[in-house]
Amino acid sequence: MMRAIVLLHRWLGIAFCLLFAMWFATGIVMHFVPFPSLTEAERFAGLSPVDPAQVRITAADAVTASGISDATRVRLIQRSDGPVYVVSGRSRAGAVRASDGAGASVGSLYVALAIARDHARSRGLDSARVAIVRRADHDQWSVPNGFDRHRPLFRIALGDAAGTEIYVSSLTGEIVLDTTRSERGWNLAGSVLHWIYPTVLRSNWSLWDRVVWTLSLLALIAALLGAALGVTRIRLRGGLIGSPYRGWHALHHLIGLAATVFVLTWIFSGWLSMDHGRLFSRGQLTSAEAAVANASPDWTVAAALDRQSISPSAREIEWFAFNGNVYRRDRIGHAGQTLIREGDAPRNGLTGFLDVHEVQALTSHLATGCGAPSVLADNDDYPAHSAVPGTPVYRSYCGDLWFDIDSADGNVLQRLDPSRRVYRWLYGALHTLDFPVLLTHPRLRDVLIVGLCALGFVFSLTGVVIGWRRLRPSLTV
């Protein structure tokens, strides 16, 4: 049995030592430079004020014109070619012109360029040398599944000093992603390698999922076997832990003993990052719950909300359904909004959000035994944040099932059952060290992550040397 363990660890180690070294090194990069994304603050800053004079149809008319029967949200935004309604449903999203209800998808390169130029100008970015790079379904930075309802995408280079590139949805004309030269460079040395994210593989989600899950599991087995061997091979010399090996093997053994706990928990939690519902719940609404939370309303009632005129400063108007009611929210600034419900006076400032009674009315339809929702604390062990700064997030406790709801737009941010709460610690805490005590001391957390990953990297390099020496005779034959 021991000989089988030795052989299996040896050859799995040879196969995965470079992968281990890459994961530890790229993990340091990822901690400081996340994968490129368009933040809500950036998206909103790129919006222009809506021109009310050009809005001639209602939100209900836009839903009808779009043909999206399961529409749950409608947003009115200003594009360079006029105001458009963006209609979103569970199945798809689309855009229609607010002037006449005609389709407003983007097929012209010139329209995409104009949209990107206006976005850049609103954000104060230099767009004097803007140019189309390509139009494609996927590239290295747009492979995540969240962009599927916007493909194909126009990738547009601003030509500024930062090397900013902007992605325009061909279906809605919205800006959905931006990257800079620095982000792209660091992520080639970070996320792309760490997640094994080449476009040709990641564009096929199910294949990528199976490949990376399998590789991570085999790497975990190699680490577990190594830990077992490392412990059984300990030799005590003068009260100190020693090794029966010499040279690189001894170094590998002793560093491995020092890094055992971190390596095992980090590789295990990394494998869990690819769980995707295999062992733990995904934190998403069930089909029955989604049918309640995302029920398509009677959009004709939204006409009553249109009696409230559109402010010339409004950059986005959104109509959304929540617990059978249609709400309208007018966004003038990133951190504030006006919320309107039929029959109610407009809510502004600190009251411009859904209240505890409205949230409780929804959660009582999602599950039984729900208590009164409470506002989530900033330092909660299971954090959830609204995209609108300062917005309360409500948590409803329905027995052992919890729902976190954004009071700005009614979105269910996360569903926490016992399985998901366990997953939060086994994956999030072990892999990113986001323990509450460390989140309150970010510098200490930075030092721990860099130091532990560096230790894991050095340990992996000893495995690379040992593997190379083992393979070298056969490679030279």
Q: How does pLDDT run along the chain (477 residues), one tens digit per residue?
A: 888 999 999 999 999 999 999 999 999 999 999 999 999 999 999 999 999 999 999 999 999 999 999 999 999 999 999 999 999 998 899 999 999 999 999 999 999 999 999 999 999 999 999 999 999 999 999 999 999 999 999 999 999 999 999 999 999 999 999 999 999 999 999 999 999 999 999 999 999 999 999 999 999 999 999 999 999 999 888 778 889 999 999 999 999 999 999 999 999 999 999 999 999 999 999 999 999 999 999 999 998 898 888 888 999 999 999 999 999 999 999 988 999 998 888 999 888 999 999 999 999 999 999 999 999 998 999 999 999 998 999 999 999 999 999 999 999 999 999 999 999 999 999 999 999 999 999 999 999 999 999 999 999 999 999 999 988 866 554
- Residue 321 sits in the same domain as residue 444: no
- Indicate the residue among 189, 222, 253 that finishes a domain: 189
DSSP state of 368: S
In a domain, 67, yes or no: yes
- Residue 160 sits in the same domain as residue 233: no
In a domain, 47, yes or no: yes
- Residue 17 sits in the same domain as residue 138: no
- Residue 220 sits in the same domain as residue 276: yes
In a domain, 426, yes or no: no
Residue 60, burial from CB neighbour count under 10 angstroms (0-12, 13-18, 19+): buried
pLDDT at 308: 84
Quick one: tokens of 463? 């495995």
- Indicate the residue among 156, 189, 222 that finishes a domain: 189
Percentages (nearest 5) of helix, strand, coil residues in the chain: 45, 20, 35
Question: What range defines the domain where residue 357 resides?
Answer: 287-416
SS3 340: strand
In a domain, 432, yes or no: no
- Residue 15 sits in the same domain as residue 78: no
Which residues does 132 contact at the CB level (< 8 Å), separation at least 6? 109, 112, 113, 154, 155, 156, 157
- Residue 69 sits in the same domain as residue 136: yes
> What is the number of domains present in the chain?
3
- Residue 294 sits in the same domain as residue 269: no
- Residue 185 sits in the same domain as residue 53: yes
- Residue 115 sits in the same domain as residue 156: yes
The overall pTM is greater than 0.95: no
Give the CA diameter of the chain.
Answer: 87
In a domain, 422, yes or no: no
- Residue 310 sits in the same domain as residue 406: yes
- Residue 155 sits in the same domain as residue 270: no
How far is Cα 89 from Cα 294, in angstroms, rounded to an integer?
9
Which amino acid is located at 220 in the chain? L
Which amino acid is located at 133 in the chain? V
In a domain, 268, yes or no: yes
- Indicate the residue among 164, 189, 214 that finishes a domain: 189
454 in Cβ contact with 303 (< 8 Å): no
In a domain, 63, yes or no: yes
Quick one: tokens of 168? 């325009």
- Residue 385 sits in the same domain as residue 442: no
In a domain, 425, yes or no: no
Quick one: tokens of 238? 């003068």
